[in-house]
Copies of this chain bind each other. A is one copy, B any other.
């Protein structure tokens, strides 16, 4: 057995079922091994950012890693923006990156570059394998690292001869490092902090938000103690909607976040770090909690958040609480699409058990709140602030959950970074409905330009307009095999989404923002 086959068999034995791939010459032996063994489903992306964003979406919904197949340092670089997002989401992911054969690395071949150096800034774990005999064991360790709490981006660099040489050995799965138990002293301190009632904030993130029974318990703790529950601005996955807890997010805008947090004197952190500003701005703080607020880490990112929630509920005598349901969304009238009618249209269109992918950014900022009363849903969003996760994240989620519809809330500027993801949706006939929020501008950046103190002139604003020429997403989607339509009023938008989710296969709806 060659090294490539031993690696494929090792990953399969460890539970890996899907490979998102954009391979090159130095990975052909892995393509060959995947083909011969038929153990792992291969999904092709036309660009590496699609591959890693899809692996992220897959893992968020499947609860386990996919493997990506990437080509040398430049392929890894193309993949890295969405590795960054995955790292910040604490998503488990295994990247298999080919490198030149060991004997070839001494030469300055055109594609020679420092693959390990390129991997380090965007991976939590990097391993370079050295032989066909070792690649199986290295693969098992990389997979275990990926599955370690709270979920890690783990990269295995495989010189091509380690794949094609004979002598491969299939390795047993390694046990990943589970979450660390919480400290009794931290629990005591958290219980004491909850004694301060409404002066106390619980900021809960990570795995806690993925389990409705835990969010119900958090709600019970809030009811029992008078504390407030909030979640970080971006999260790997939220289970929310009607009948489930819907917690407020710490806002993106610094001023709004400071306003929200100013009254708290105790902050209990569960699988979360203290909230900080997305960016620094002249004259604005980096830290969002007031100085006089005591920070208390009950569970750090790699600790056992579910245990923390259960222990806390137990100590204060809280039971799971049933949320007061938010009002059921109302369908909008046949009015132009502004931010408000957009929210209404989306909220009223979401079907039961939908997966919502949120890269709506400026135009979509109100949709999270507006959908609290929509049917139960999974909510996955951009986490690391690196725009261009949307089309692939939706793609991967649909691969993981073939029986659930995916609605992708997609800002127009961001869509263009990984628009190639539409092609994979068509190829795999995935039930993804992409709603493009077409405002023809990097609206977010226009606001940011003012926040850094600029008094922008015409040419600066022109740099942030993307409507000259106008992007025609219906044509772009058609070019990649995805049928699309353009809508200009909120009622039609709502109905178009309802229609699209009922049909198999991907659709794109370009919502023209007024």
Say yes or no: is A471 at the interface (Cβ < 8 Å to chain B).
yes
Q: What distance in Å separates the Cβ of A32 from its nearest Cβ neighbour in chain B?
A: 4
Q: What distance in Å separates the Cβ of A37 from its nearest Cβ neighbour in chain B?
A: 10
Say yes or no: is A177 at the interface (Cβ < 8 Å to chain B).
no
| A103 adjacent to B286 (CB under 8 Å) | yes
Say yes or no: is A182 at the interface (Cβ < 8 Å to chain B).
no
| A28 adjacent to B445 (CB under 8 Å) | yes
| A479 adjacent to B476 (CB under 8 Å) | yes
Q: A113-B84, A476-B475 are in contact. Are A23 and B445 (CB under 8 A)?
A: yes
Rounded to whole angstroms, the CA-CA distance of A84 and B233 in the bound complex is: 35
Q: What distance in Å separates the Cβ of A236 from its nearest Cβ neighbour in chain B?
A: 13
Q: A75-B81, A81-B74, A469-B480 are in contact. Are A113 and B121 (CB under 8 A)?
A: yes
Q: What distance in Å separates the Cβ of A211 from its nearest Cβ neighbour in chain B?
A: 23
Q: A74-B80, A78-B49, A475-B479 are in contact. Are A42 and B459 (CB under 8 A)?
A: yes
| A118 adjacent to B80 (CB under 8 Å) | yes
Q: A78-B78, A452-B29, A457-B35 are in contact. Are A111 and B416 (CB under 8 A)?
A: no
Which chain B residue shows the least CB distance to A454?
Answer: B32
Within 8 Å CB of A426, what residues of B?
469
Interface positions, chain A 85-136, Cβ under 8 Å from B, are 85, 88, 100-101, 103-104, 107-111, 113-114, 117-118, 120-122
Give the interface segment out of A238-246, A270-278, A330-338. A270-278
Give the interface segment out of A55-63, A365-373, A382-390. A382-390
Say yes or no: is A423 at the interface (Cβ < 8 Å to chain B).
yes
Interface positions, chain A 315-346, Cβ under 8 Å from B, are none
Contact digits for A202-239, partner B, Cβ 8 Å, 1 yes 0 no: 00000000000000000000000000000001100000
| A276 adjacent to B109 (CB under 8 Å) | yes
Q: What distance in Å separates the Cβ of A70 from its nearest Cβ neighbour in chain B?
A: 11
Rounded to whole angstroms, the CA-CA distance of A248 and B24 in the bound complex is: 26
Q: What distance in Å separates the Cβ of A131 from its nearest Cβ neighbour in chain B?
A: 15
| A472 adjacent to B468 (CB under 8 Å) | no
Q: What distance in Å separates the Cβ of A475 from its nearest Cβ neighbour in chain B?
A: 4
Within 8 Å CB of A453, what residues of B?
29, 164
| A117 adjacent to B121 (CB under 8 Å) | yes
Q: What distance in Å separates the Cβ of A26 from its nearest Cβ neighbour in chain B?
A: 6
| A280 adjacent to B384 (CB under 8 Å) | no
Interface positions, chain A 439-485, Cβ under 8 Å from B, are 444-445, 448-449, 451-454, 456-460, 463-464, 466, 468-481
Say yes or no: is A7 at the interface (Cβ < 8 Å to chain B).
no
| A469 adjacent to B423 (CB under 8 Å) | yes
| B476 adjacent to A31 (CB under 8 Å) | no
Rounded to whole angstroms, the CA-CA distance of A75 and B476 in the bound complex is: 23
Say yes or no: is A161 at the interface (Cβ < 8 Å to chain B).
yes
Q: A31-B460, A32-B456, A32-B460 are in contact. Are A280 and B100 (CB under 8 A)?
A: yes
Within 8 Å CB of A480, what residues of B?
469, 471-472, 476
| B452 adjacent to A160 (CB under 8 Å) | yes
Rounded to whole angstroms, the CA-CA distance of A479 and B276 in the bound complex is: 39
Say yes or no: is A34 at the interface (Cβ < 8 Å to chain B).
yes
Q: What distance in Å separates the Cβ of A388 from its nearest Cβ neighbour in chain B?
A: 8
Within 8 Å CB of A448, what residues of B?
24-25, 28
Contact digits for A176-192, partner B, Cβ 8 Å, 1 yes 0 no: 00000000000000000
Q: What distance in Å separates the Cβ of A246 from its nearest Cβ neighbour in chain B?
A: 22
Rounded to whole angstroms, the CA-CA distance of A477 and B470 in the bound complex is: 12
Q: What distance in Å separates the Cβ of A301 from its nearest Cβ neighbour in chain B?
A: 9
Which chain B residue shows the least CB distance to A41?
Answer: B459
| A104 adjacent to B279 (CB under 8 Å) | yes
| A122 adjacent to B111 (CB under 8 Å) | no
Contact digits for A371-405, partner B, Cβ 8 Å, 1 yes 0 no: 00000000000011110100000000000000000
Which chain B residue shows the least CB distance to A453?
Answer: B164
Within 8 Å CB of A72, what residues of B?
386
| A28 adjacent to B452 (CB under 8 Å) | yes
Rounded to whole angstroms, the CA-CA distance of A378 and B70 in the bound complex is: 33
**Contact sample, A vs B, 18 pairs, CB 8 Å cutoff:** A28-B445, A29-B453, A31-B449, A31-B456, A35-B463, A46-B466, A47-B416, A74-B384, A78-B80, A101-B280, A103-B286, A108-B276, A118-B118, A118-B121, A160-B279, A470-B481, A472-B480, A472-B481
Smallest CB-CB A-B distances: 7 pairs: A469-B481, A476-B479, A35-B460, A475-B479, A74-B386, A101-B280, A77-B80
Q: Add 11 more A-B contacts to A47-B388, A110-B278, A419-B419 (CB < 8 A).
A: A28-B448, A28-B451, A31-B449, A35-B463, A46-B417, A77-B78, A101-B286, A109-B279, A161-B280, A161-B282, A416-B423
